C-alpha cells in the first residue's frame, strides 16, 4: 500500500486541481478543495507514522500545519464575505501555520546536523533583504489603501515574507542534500507553489482586494497535493537523516544566495527612495544586513581556525584512547634526544589476539582503553604515553637508569589487576622492550626512529621469554635479528630451489627391533653452510609464515614416498609414517580436505599415517583446530602428541581431543636406568595411556639399558639412535627393507 499511496494521492490531487481550474460549478470546486485539503491532512498525519519518519513529533507538526492551512483557506471566503469583513480571523489561523512550518523545517535541519551558525546567519541576511522588500513594495502600499483597515492590508502584504522565511530554511535543506529523494523534491515544489499563491494574493491585495478569484487558489491546491506526496512517499524518512559532513562556510552557491539580499537596499532606494521615512527604513535595513554579514565573515574565519586545530589534533592523536600517536611521540622523543639520557619503553599486550578472537573486537577496544587510562594515570605528567599500534603503547622518559627501571616496574604494576570486561575479569600482562640513548657523543647520533625500533626488537625478545617480561635492548640483538632475517631469506630460497629433503627414522618394536613405521624429519642441506638443523629453521619458518608451505611440501613428499614403498614392497602393509605438523597448520580449516585428497593421490590409506603435534596445539588451539583434529581422526589418521611431558601438564585435553597416542620426550628417556624420578614419570605415563587406550612410543632411545628399562615399565615401541638415525629415503630402503628386517635388528649404535 505504501508504494501506491503516494501515486494515487498525487493523481487524485492533480485531477482535483484541474477540475478546480475549469471552474465547472461552486459545488465541484468546493468538493475539489475539500478532497485535496482533507486528503493532505490525512496524508500528513498517516504517512510519516507509517514509514516511521523521525522525529515523530516534528512530523505530527506537519499534520497540524496542513490542518491549519486547510481551515484558513475554508474560513477566508466566509470571513471576507461578512457584512463587516474580518479577514484577520483567517490570518490568525494561517500565520501560526507558517511558524509551525518553520519549526518543522528547523527540526529537520537540526536532525541533519546542518543547522550551523553560517546557515542561520545566511538565512538572516536574506530574510532581512526579503523583509525590506516585501515591507516596502507589498505591505506598505497595501496598507495605504483607503477603504479598508490598514492592519488587514498590511497582513496580506506580509504573506510573501512568511514564504521567504520558509523558502530560506528550505534552501538550507537542499544545500545539505546529498541525494534528492522524491520527498525532498515534492516538499520544495509544495513551498514554491504556496509562495506563488501568496505572492499572487499580495499583488491582488495591492489593488485593494483581499479575496480575488477562486483561480488564485489553484497554486495552493497543487502545493497542497505536493505536501501530501511528501508525507506519503517512503523517502520521507530520509529528510531527517544526517547530511554530508559540514558544508563549506563559503561557497559559490551561498554567495549567490546573499547577493540579491545585499542588493535589496540599493534596488529599493532606486524604486521607492522618495520619502525620508523610506530612506530611514532602507538605511536601517542596510546597516543590519551589513552588520550581519560582518558577523558572518568573522564566524567563518573562526570556524576555519577551529576546524584546523581539530584536524591537527586528529593527526597527532589516536582516536580510540585520545593518547598521542606514533608521529607525536616520535617528535617528543626527538626533542629530548641530546639533552640527557632518554629511555623508550614499548609495551605490547600479551595474548591480545586471543582476547579479540574469543571476546570480540569491542572487548579488545575496551581493554586497550582501560590500559591507556591506567598508564596515563600512573605515569608522571612529564612521561608521554602514546598508542602506536593495535595493542602497543610507547612511553618516553628522560633521566637516569635507576629511575627508568623503577618506571618499568610501575608500568608492570598497571597490569597487576585484571581487566574488568562485561561480567568477568581478564588478566592481561604486557611485554616490555626498553631501549635507551646515553648522553655521550656516540649515541647522540641515535634518532627517535632508531630508539623505537630497538625497543621493538627488545620487546620481541621479552615476548619470547614468556608473558609479562621486560628486556633492555643491547646491540647483540641487532645481530640476532639480522641473522634471523638472513636465514628467512635463505629458507625461502631453499624452498624454491629444492634444498630440502625428507629423512626417515625407524620406529621399532622394542622386543624385536622390527620396524613398525618411521618418522619423517625434514632436512636442509645449505649449499655453503651445510646441514642446518630443523630446530633452527622450523621456528624461523613458523614466525615468517613459511611453515604452511614447508609443512605441505614435507607431507606430500613423505606420503609420495610411502606410496612408492608400499607398492614396491619396501615396507609391510601396516608400516606407518609419522609426520610432524605445526600448530599453525592445524588452524587451517581446509587441511583435512587437502590431506584426504593427498591420500587418494598417492594411494596411501589413512590408518598408516600419523600426524605428530605438540601439546600447545590443543592447549591454546582455536575452535577451528578442534574441528580440524576431529575431521582428521574421522578419516582414520592417527594423532600423536610429540615431546609428551615437556609442555603443559593439563592433561584434560587428552580426553577432549581425539588423540590416539603419545611420544614420551627424550628428556625422560635419557635418565632411565640411572634416574629413579624419570622412571616414575615414564611409569605414570604408561599407566595413564593404557587406561585411556593410547599408544606409547619412547623417543631418543640410545642405549640397551634405556631400551630394557622401557620394556620393564611396559613401553613396547621406541625410536632412537639405538636402532638408527633419520636417513634419506634410498638409504632407509636399503637398511629397512621389509624382507631383510631380521638381519638388521640390533645394529651397532652410531656415534
Distance of closest approach, residue 397 Cβ to ligand C2E, in angstroms: 42
Residue 678 lies near Ca ion (rule: CB under 5 A): no
Residue 554 lies near ligand C2E (rule: CB under 6 A): yes
Distance of closest approach, residue 664 Cβ to ligand C2E, in angstroms: 11
Residues 35, 700, 710, 718: which binds ligand C2E (CB under 6 A)? 700
114 binds, among Ca ion, ligand C2E, none (CB under 5 to 8 A by kind): none
- Residue 703, Ramachandran bin (φ over 0: left; ψ between -120 and 50: alpha; else beta): beta
**What burial class does residue 11 get, using C-beta atoms within 10 Å of its C-beta: 0-12 exposed, 13-18 middle, 19+ buried?**
exposed
* CA dihedral angle for residue 34, residue 38, residue 43, residue 44, rounded to 10 degrees: 120
Distance of closest approach, residue 617 Cβ to Ca ion, in angstroms: 12
Residue 649 lies near ligand C2E (rule: CB under 6 A): no
Distance of closest approach, residue 521 Cβ to Ca ion, in angstroms: 7
Long-range CB pairs of 295-300 (<8 Å, 24+ gap) are 295/121, 296/118, 296/121, 296/122, 296/125, 299/117, 299/118, 299/121, 300/118, 300/249, 300/250
Site size toward Ca ion, by CB under 5 A: 5
Nearer to ligand C2E, 280 or 501 (CB): 501
Nearer to Ca ion, 222 or 698 (CB): 698
Question: By rule CB under 6 A, what string of x and - marks binding of each residue 572-611 to ligand C2E?
Answer: --------xxx-----------------------------
Distance of closest approach, residue 613 Cβ to ligand C2E, in angstroms: 9
Distance CA 218, CA 448 (A): 76
Residues 505, 561, 570, 689: which binds ligand C2E (CB under 6 A)? 505
Distance of closest approach, residue 244 Cβ to ligand C2E, in angstroms: 54
Per CB under 5 A, which of residues 597..626 are in contact with Ca ion? 612
DSSP designation for 324 = B
Nearer to Ca ion, 392 or 642 (CB): 642
Contact partners, residue 464, CB within 8 Å, separation at least 6: none
Q: Return the closest-CA partner of residue 556 out of 608, 584, 597, 615.
A: 597
Handedness of CA 518, 520, 526, 529 (dihedral sign): negative
Distance of closest approach, residue 653 Cβ to Ca ion, in angstroms: 17
522 binds, among Ca ion, ligand C2E, none (CB under 5 to 8 A by kind): ligand C2E
Beta strands 661-664; 638-644: pairing state: parallel
Residues 217, 325, 580, 585: which binds Ca ion (CB under 5 A)? 580
Nearer to ligand C2E, 530 or 533 (CB): 533
Q: Return the closest-CA partner of residue 460 out of 483, 448, 447, 477.
A: 477
Distance of closest approach, residue 665 Cβ to Ca ion, in angstroms: 6
Question: By rule CB under 5 A, what string of x and - marks binding of each residue 694-713 to Ca ion?
Answer: -----x--------------
Beta bridge partners of 750: none
Residues in the chain: 751
Distance CA 609, CA 579 (A): 8
C-alpha cell at 482: 639480522
Q: CB under 5 A: which stretch of 105-113, 308-316, 331-339, 575-583 binds Ca ion?
A: 575-583
726 binds, among Ca ion, ligand C2E, none (CB under 5 to 8 A by kind): ligand C2E
Distance of closest approach, residue 703 Cβ to ligand C2E, in angstroms: 9
Residues 643, 644, 668, 678: which binds Ca ion (CB under 5 A)? 643
Question: By rule CB under 5 A, what string of x and - marks binding of each residue 55-84 to Ca ion?
Answer: ------------------------------
Residue 257 lies near ligand C2E (rule: CB under 6 A): no
Nearer to Ca ion, 164 or 698 (CB): 698
Residue 642 lies near Ca ion (rule: CB under 5 A): yes
CB atoms within 10 A of CB 225: 28
Distance CA 242, CA 109 (A): 9
C-alpha cell at 67: 490542518
325 binds, among ligand C2E, Ca ion, none (CB under 5 to 8 A by kind): none
Q: CB under 6 A: which stretch of 374-382, 402-410, 480-488, 700-708 binds ligand C2E?
A: 700-708
Whether the Cβ atoms of residue 282 and residue 228 lie closer than 8 Å to each other? no
Distance CA 323, CA 347 (A): 14
Residues 10, 522, 577, 694: which binds ligand C2E (CB under 6 A)? 522
Q: CB under 6 A: which stretch of 29-37, 459-467, 627-635, 697-705 binds ligand C2E?
A: 697-705
Whether the Cβ atoms of residue 61 and residue 44 lie closer than 8 Å to each other? no
Distance of closest approach, residue 581 Cβ to Ca ion, in angstroms: 9
Q: How far is CA 402 from the centre of its chain?
A: 41
| Residue 459, CA distances (Å) to 346, 356, 390, 394 in order | 7, 21, 15, 11
Nearer to ligand C2E, 391 or 642 (CB): 642
Handedness of CA 574, 579, 581, 587 (dihedral sign): negative
Whether the Cβ atoms of residue 345 and residue 455 lie closer than 8 Å to each other? yes
Residue 702 lies near ligand C2E (rule: CB under 6 A): yes
Q: CB under 5 A: which stretch of 69-77, 233-241, 298-306, 573-581 binds Ca ion?
A: 573-581
Contact partners, residue 629, CB within 8 Å, separation at least 6: 586, 617, 618, 621, 639, 657, 658
Q: CB under 6 A: which stretch of 74-82, 94-102, 325-333, 530-538 binds ligand C2E?
A: 530-538
Site size toward ligand C2E, by CB under 6 A: 21
C-alpha cell at 219: 497554486
Distance of closest approach, residue 317 Cβ to Ca ion, in angstroms: 50
Q: How far is CA 490 from the centre of its chain?
A: 37
Distance of closest approach, residue 520 Cβ to Ca ion, in angstroms: 9
Distance of closest approach, residue 373 Cβ to Ca ion, in angstroms: 45
Nearer to Ca ion, 355 or 694 (CB): 694
Distance CA 561, CA 552 (A): 14
Residue 533 lies near ligand C2E (rule: CB under 6 A): yes
Distance of closest approach, residue 670 Cβ to ligand C2E, in angstroms: 8
Residue 250 lies near ligand C2E (rule: CB under 6 A): no
Helix (H) / strand (E) element for 346: namely: strand 342-349
C-alpha cell at 45: 498525519
Burial of 104-118, coded b for 16+ CB within 10 Å and e otherwise, reads: bbbbbbebbebbbeb
Nearer to Ca ion, 396 or 641 (CB): 641
Nearer to ligand C2E, 589 or 725 (CB): 725
Nearer to ligand C2E, 425 or 708 (CB): 708
Q: Return the closest-CA partner of residue 34 out of 217, 230, 233, 200.
A: 217
Nearer to ligand C2E, 191 or 546 (CB): 546
* CA dihedral angle for residue 460, residue 464, residue 467, residue 473, rounded to 10 degrees: -40
Per CB under 6 A, which of residues 652..681 are in contact with ligand C2E? 666
Residue 726 lies near ligand C2E (rule: CB under 6 A): yes
Distance CA 570, CA 372 (A): 64
Q: Which residues bind ligand C2E (CB under 6 A)?
A: 505, 521-522, 533-535, 538, 551, 554, 580-582, 642-643, 666, 700-702, 720-721, 726
Q: Which residues bind Ca ion (CB under 5 A)?
A: 580, 612, 642-643, 699
Amino acid at each position: 500500500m505504501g508504494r501506491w499511496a503516494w501515486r494515487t494521492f498525487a493523481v487524485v490531487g492533480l485531477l482535483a486541481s484541474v477540475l478546480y481550474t475549469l471552474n465547472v460549478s461552486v459545488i465541484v470546486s468546493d468538493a475539489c478543495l475539500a478532497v485535496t485539503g482533507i486528503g493532505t491532512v490525512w496524508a500528513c498525519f498517516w504517512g510519516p507514522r507509517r514509514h516511521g519518519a523521525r522525529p515523530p513529533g516534528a512530523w505530527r507538526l506537519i499534520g497540524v500545519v496542513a490542518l491549519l492551512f486547510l481551515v484558513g483557506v475554508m474560513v477566508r471566503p466566509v470571513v471576507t464575505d461578512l457584512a463587516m469583513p474580518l479577514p484577520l480571523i483567517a490570518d490568525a489561523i494561517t500565520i501560526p501555520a507558517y511558524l509551525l512550518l518553520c519549526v518543522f523545517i528547523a527540526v529537520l535541519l537540526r536532525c541533519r546536523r546542518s543547522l550551523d551558525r553560517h546557515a542561520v546567519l545566511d538565512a538572516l541576511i536574506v530574510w532581512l533583504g526579503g523583509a525590506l522588500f516585501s515591507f516596502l513594495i507589498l505591505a506598505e502600499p497595501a496598507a495605504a489603501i483607503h477603504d479598508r483597515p490598514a492592519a488587514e492590508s498590511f497582513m496580506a502584504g506580509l504573506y510573501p515574507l512568511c514564504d521567504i522565511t520558509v523558502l530560506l530554511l528550505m534552501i538550507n535543506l537542499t544545500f545539505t542534500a546529498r541525494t534528492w529523494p522524491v520527498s525532498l523534491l515534492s516538499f520544495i515544489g509544495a513551498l514554491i507553489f504556496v509562495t506563488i499563491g501568496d505572492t499572487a494574493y499580495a499583488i491582488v491585495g495591492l489593488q485593494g482586494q483581499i479575496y480575488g478569484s477562486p483561480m488564485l487558489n489553484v497554486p495552493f491546491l497543487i502545493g497542497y497535493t505536493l505536501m501530501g506526496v511528501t508525507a506519503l512517499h517512503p523517502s520521507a524518512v530520509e529528510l531527517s537523516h544526517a547530511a554530508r559532513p559540514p558544508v563549506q562556510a563559503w561557497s559559490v552557491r551561498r554567495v549567490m544566495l546573499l547577493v540579491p539580499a545585499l542588493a535589496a537596499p540599493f534596488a529599493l532606494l532606486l524604486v521607492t527612495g522618495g520619502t525620508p521615512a523610506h530612506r530611514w527604513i532602507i538605511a536601517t535595513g542596510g546597516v543590519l544586513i551589513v552588520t550581519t554579514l560582518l558577523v558572518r565573515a568573522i564566524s567563518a574565519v573562526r570556524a576555519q581556525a577551529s576546524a584546523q586545530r581539530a584536524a591537527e589534533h586528529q593527526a597527532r592523536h589516536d582516536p580510540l584512547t585520545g593518547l598521542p600517536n606514533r608521529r607525536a611521540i616520535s617528535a617528543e622523543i626527538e626533542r629530548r634526544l641530546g639533552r640527557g639520557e632518554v629511555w623508550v619503553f614499548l609495551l605490547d599486550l600479551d595474548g591480545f589476539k586471543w582476547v579479540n578472537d574469543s571476546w570480540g573486537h569491542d572487548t579488545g577496544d575496551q581493554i586497550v582503553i582501560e590500559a591507556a587510562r591506567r598508564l596515563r594515570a600512573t605515569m608522571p605528567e612529564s612521561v608521554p604515553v602514546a598508542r602506536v599500534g593495535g595493542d602497543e603503547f610507547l612511553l618516553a622518559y628522560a633521566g637516569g637508569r635507576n629511575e627508568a627501571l623503577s618506571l618499568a616496574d610501575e608500568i608492570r604494576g598497571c597490569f597487576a589487576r585484571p581487566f574488568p570486561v562485561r561480567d568477568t575479569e581478564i588478566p592481561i600482562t604486557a611485554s616490555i622492550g626498553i631501549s635507551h640513548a646515553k648522553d655521550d657523543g656516540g649515541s647522540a647520533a641515535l634518532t627517535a626512529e632508531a630508539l623505537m625500533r630497538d625497543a621493538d626488537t627488545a620487546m620481541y625478545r621479552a615476548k619470547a621469554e614468556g608473558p609479562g617480561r621486560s628486556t633492555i635492548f643491547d646491540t647483540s640483538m641487532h645481530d640476532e635479528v639480522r641473522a634471523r632475517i638472513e636465514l628467512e631469506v635463505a629458507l625461502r630460497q631453499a624452498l624454491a630451489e629444492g634444498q630440502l629433503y625428507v629423512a626417515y627414522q625407524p620406529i621399532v618394536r622394542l622386543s624385536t627391533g622390527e620396524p613398525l613405521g618411521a618418522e619423517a624429519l625434514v632436512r636442509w642441506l645449505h649449499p655453503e653452510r651445510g646441514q642446518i638443523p630443523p630446530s633452527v629453521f622450523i621456528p624461523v619458518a613458523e614466525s615468517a609464515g613459511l611453515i604452511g608451505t614447508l609443512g605441505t611440501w614435507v607431507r606430500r613428499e613423505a606420503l609420495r614416498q610411502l606410496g612408492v614403498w608400499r607398492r614396491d614392497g619396501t615396507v609391510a602393509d601396516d608400516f606407518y609414517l609419522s609426520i610432524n605438523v605445526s600448530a599453525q597448520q592445524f588452524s587451517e580449516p581446509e587441511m583435512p580436505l587437502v590431506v584426504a585428497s593427498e591420500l587418494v593421490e598417492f594411494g596411501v590409506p589413512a590408518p598408516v599415517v600419523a600426524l605428530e603435534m605438540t601439546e600447545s596445539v590443543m592447549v591454546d588451539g582455536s575452535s577451528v583446530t578442534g574441528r580440524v583434529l576431529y575431521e582428521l581422526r574421522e578419516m582414520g589418521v592417527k594423532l600423536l602428541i610429540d615431546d609428551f611431558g615437556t609442555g603443559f601438564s593439563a592433561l584434560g585435553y587428552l580426553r577432549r581431543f581425539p588423540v590416539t597416542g603419545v611420544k614420551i620426550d627424550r628428556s625422560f628417556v635419557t635418565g632411565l636406568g640411572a634416574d629413579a624420578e624419570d622412571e616414575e614419570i615414564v611409569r605414570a605415563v604408561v599407566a595413564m595411556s593404557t587406561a585411556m587406550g593410547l599408544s606409547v612410543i619412547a623417543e631418543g632411545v640410545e642405549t640397551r639399558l634405556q631400551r630394557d628399562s622401557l620394556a620393564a615399565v611396559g613401553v613396547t615401541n621406541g625410536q632412537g639412535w639405538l636402532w638408527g638415525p633419520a636417513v634419506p629415503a634410498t638409504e632407509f630402503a636399503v637398511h629397512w627393507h621389509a624382507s631383510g628386517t631380521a638381519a638388521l635388528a640390533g645394529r651397532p649404535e652410531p656415534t
